[in-house]
Amino acid sequence: MVVANYTGPVVPVTARFVERVINTAEKRGATACVLELNTPGGLYSATQEIVTEILNSEVPVVVFVSPHGGWAGSAGTFITISAHIAAMAPGSRIGAAHPVSVGNPEMPEVPSEKITEDAAAWARSIAQMRGRNAHAAELAVRESKSFSDSEALKENLIDFRANSLGDLLAKIDGKEVVLATGRKATLHTAKAPVERLEMNSVEKLLLTISNPDLAYILLTLGMAGLMVEIYHPGLIFPGVVGGISLLLGLYSLGTLDAYWGGVLLIVLAFALFIAEVFVPSHGALGAGGVVSFITGSLILFSNSSTGLRVSIWLIVTTSIFITALLSLLVTAVIRGQRRPVITGKEALIGATAVVRSELNPKGTVFVAGEIWSAVAEEGRIDPGEEVVITGIKGLHLKVRRKNEVKEENRK
């Protein structure tokens, strides 16, 4: 028997994980596949994939809402009632499956009434297929009705209440279910060996970044890193970190069905931030960028009916950080632009050179990897002594002993 535990929102990686678990149970010829579920809900598209996988499974699928106090909210309702056997732990609840939290992000133009009708019909269809209370399932969608574990059992939304996995396996032992192929399967779970499947490292990473707040942070960090790299070319590290973060953020936002209008506004904001350095707008471009960034952040998930949102406090904090970073970078660039440009021979003035051939008063010195002709301003200077370049006349450097320059500076 294959057992897997899943806690978290229903996102695309959830569907991949459940599919892998069921496929493994089928390949092992397991007597059953048990999914311990605890979820607040999630994406409609991912929910459809999971329910379809369960309905067409070649092995009995048992969904156990656990641990005590667990939740099969929103998308979890559809997943639970689609199982061949549904069970809940004491203190758990199920329901609140109205499209406000489980809608169809692929059809934002469809009126909410039609989406609700579709979700209600789907809930009824699943419940009727499993011989469960279709009316109660419909209420969970239309009226966001929630049920405790005892109420769900009384309303025939689930088959069992169980204190633990062991208690559940004992209660369902000998239970007969009908698979999608029409074949009847009898569960032998009381003494069956248990094989637990966990998410692999890749699935855990994808689940971790499938979080609206983290996706928002990754997107912002990526843009900020690239902005720093453009402002100060050659730093490398900000550019590398920024590029990786940007790609991870875009992936995460894509899986969460973020509103791309919001993403484009955030991208526009950083374009305006960068333009601020190259165009003398007296801060207008930067101010426009801040407005674009905040607006994009606020509407990032406004077109999605999944119930996922970016924390308002995170938006405020990030906006302050981005504004401060922009001010710092622009100030540094402006200061650099105001510095006098020193190139060529003029850059040698004030540099320290080493005498190669005796200066009496003419000779040669070594500076900046080159040999130069030099003239001592005062006295004879021996080879190996350090001198300071005080001026340039034609192709000759004017130099003085380094210690003499230091003494004058002290005075």
Residue ranges of the chain whose pLDDT lies below 70: 99-112, 302-308, 332-346, 409-411
* Closest among 85, 172, 93, 79 to 126, alpha carbons compared: 79
Catalytic positions, written as ranges? 74, 114
CB-CB contact of 345 with 370 (8 Å) = no
pLDDT value at position 149?
95
User: Do residue 264 and residue 401 come from a single domain?
Assistant: no
Q: Out of 338, 369, 387, pick the residue that ends a domain.
A: 338
Sequence-ordered list of residues with C-beta below 8 angstroms from that of 305, at least 6 positions apart, any chain: 44, 99, 100, 101, 102, 103, 104, 105, 108, 112, 115
> What size, in residues, is the chain?
411
SS3 219: helix
Q: Out of 166, 185, 202, pick the residue that ends a domain.
A: 202
Domain at 395, CATH number: 2.40.50.140
Residue 274's domain spans which residues?
211-338
| Single-letter amino acid, residue 308 | L
User: Do residue 165 and residue 234 come from a single domain?
Assistant: no
Q: Out of 169, 202, 235, pick the residue that ends a domain.
A: 202
pLDDT value at position 338?
55
- DSSP bridge partners of 364: 357, 373
pLDDT value at position 404?
78
SS3 3: strand
* Encoded tokens for 297: 């952040």
Domain at 124, CATH number: 3.90.226.10
Chain mean position to CA 330: 28
Eight-class DSSP state of 91: T
96 CB burial (10 A radius; 0-12, 13-18, 19+) = buried
User: Do residue 310 and residue 353 come from a single domain?
Assistant: no
User: Do residue 144 and residue 260 come from a single domain?
Assistant: no
User: Do residue 163 and residue 244 come from a single domain?
Assistant: no
CB-CB contact of 256 with 215 (8 Å) = yes
User: Do residue 230 and residue 190 come from a single domain?
Assistant: no
SS3 86: strand
pLDDT value at position 109?
43
Give the DSSP per-residue string, 180-208: TTS-EEE---SSPPPEEE---HHHHHHHH
- Angstrom CA distances, 159 to 31, 89, 283, stand at 18, 12, 65
User: Do residue 363 and residue 325 come from a single domain?
Assistant: no
pLDDT value at position 411?
57
User: Do residue 229 and residue 253 come from a single domain?
Assistant: yes
Q: What are phi and psi of 264, to 5 degrees?
A: -65, -35
User: Do residue 125 and residue 90 come from a single domain?
Assistant: yes
User: Do residue 45 and residue 181 come from a single domain?
Assistant: yes
Q: What are phi and psi of 369, to 5 degrees?
A: 75, 10
Go through 198-226 and write b for each residue having 16 or more CB atoms within 10 A of its CB, e for each that does not.
Answer: ebeeeeeebbebbbbebbbbbbbbbbbbb
- For the chain, what is the domain count? 3
Predicted confidence (pLDDT) per residue in 195-239, tens digit: 999 999 999 988 888 888 898 999 999 988 888 888 777 778 888
User: Do residue 283 and residue 388 come from a single domain?
Assistant: no
pLDDT value at position 47?
92
User: Do residue 177 and residue 311 come from a single domain?
Assistant: no
